[in-house]
Structure formats: C-alpha cells, structure tokens
Structure 1
Amino acid sequence: MEVIMNAKNSDTQKNEIVKSDEEWKKELSAEQYAVLRKKGTERPFTGKYDKFNEVGVYKCAACGNELFVSDKKFDAGCGWPSFWDVKSSDKVVLKKDYSLGMVRTEVLCAKCGGHLGHLFDDGPAPTNLRYCINSISLGFEMRKEAE
C-alpha cells in the first residue's frame, strides 16, 4: 500500500507501538484482532458506536490514541460510525487500499498502525469527508466537552 498522507511527513508509517502478532492476539478480542490487525470489517449496523451520541472522545481500541471527537461525528446512514474530521491531523495515517478490486483510502491509527476503516469524499461540510470507522476499532471516553 502506498501512503498518501501522513501528518508526520513521512513516506512510510512508523508506529510508536510495535508488537508481534502473538502479543496483539493476547491483548485484543478475536473480533478486534480481525479488524485492527488483519484489516477486516464489521457488518454494518452491528457496531456499538453506530447510533451512539454521547459527548466525548473516541480512541483506538488497541492503543488508546485519541482519534475522533463526538462533535465531529454524524449519522451517515451507512451502518458504521462516521466522522467529518479527525481530532487532529497527526492521529491517523491514510493509505491507498487496492483490495477487493477497488481503490479506497484506508484509515490507520498513527500510533499502533491498527486498521480503523476507510475515508470517503461524500461527507458534510466543512470538509466533505466521511471517516467510516469500525466500532470494534474504537473505545470511548465520556467527557463534558468533546475536546
């Protein structure tokens, strides 16, 4: 896969957290491992954060990296939690994804390299972006304010 955007201005992704497959298997549930480490996708409308509207911060389920805030979440009707922007640009890495006979943009956690979902250009203003993220890839921390 080709890196198309990395906020850290690197041509290759350099994760802060590097673990073996065996270590990840011990730390993650089987479902989390399948999505975060093997680039799987949960079925639409089954994830816990699809219709979730609490105020707070969405974190990487593998490493705790703060990825998205609730005030940038919207209901895209696609069956996965969707955000129109990230918490800050250094939180994710975007890569070209040529799997399944398509060209898409994969969203990865910048800290651990975990697969989060995909980015599309059909979101709302002001970015017109839709970060379509697997619920299983996320954790959530309630806060009084999103940021």
Structure 2
Amino acid sequence: MSTPPPAGNPAFAAPYRVPPPGTLPPSPAARRSRAVGIAAAATAALTLCAAVIANALAGARFGASGAIADLLASGGDLRALSPVRGWVLVVEIVFWSAAALWTAAIVLGIVAVVGRRGRALGVAAIVTAALGPVVALAAGSAALAVTG
C-alpha cells in the first residue's frame, strides 16, 4: 500500500504562492493597440475616395471634350488629348500616388493581421487596397461612358 501524505501538506494541492506583503500580483497582459489596423484602413479608404473622385472627374472631362473619340478616330495619335492634357496629368499623378498608398495600406494591413493589432481593420484594409484600382477604373470608365 501507499503511505498517506503528511498532515498539513495535501498531495494534490494546487501550487499557489501568496505574494510577499507590500507587493501586488502581476497584472494581466495589456491589450494591444489597434493603431496599425486603423492606420491601414484609413489609408486604404481615403486613397480609394481620392482615386474614385479624380478618375470620375477626369472621365467626365474626357467624355465631354470628345478627346477619346478624337483619339480613336486619329488611329492613336496622342495629340488628340491636347485639350485635356491637364486632366491626363492629374490622372497619372493620382494613379502613381494611389499605387504607392495602396501598397503601404496592404503592408500595414498584413502587419496588423499578423501582429494582432486591429486584425479586422487590417483585413478590411487589405481587401480595400486590393480592389481599389478596379473600383477607381470603373468609376472613371462609367463617367466617360455617361458623358461621352
């Protein structure tokens, strides 16, 4: 048979230690900040808004001026875009700026998801940044089709 445990010392007691007097037990882990996820989502959303507005305005301007019809009629001669060259420059600047900002939003979104710092916002930022160019192109094409 087995020997009984000594009195005052149970065999299956949980290992619990009382902290020394004057000290506090360790606090639970602090909740991580969602700042990275918020930054990623804000970057993706604001870039999407700016790109959609700029492309829609430029598409409407291209359609109203007839520059695209002239471009197609001339066999691709880019001089047909002279009346709207300022808008061509705006679209190019917006395109490259949005590409850089959407890339940054995707990277921040990945950091937020992996680091658990605003995971849902990080996923939303990745999806928004990935679909942003498609939505912006659709807005510009729709404005061109309506006015052209």
State TM-score, norm by structure 2. Answer: 0.21
Q: Which has the higher helix share?
A: 2
Q: Which has the higher strand share?
A: 1
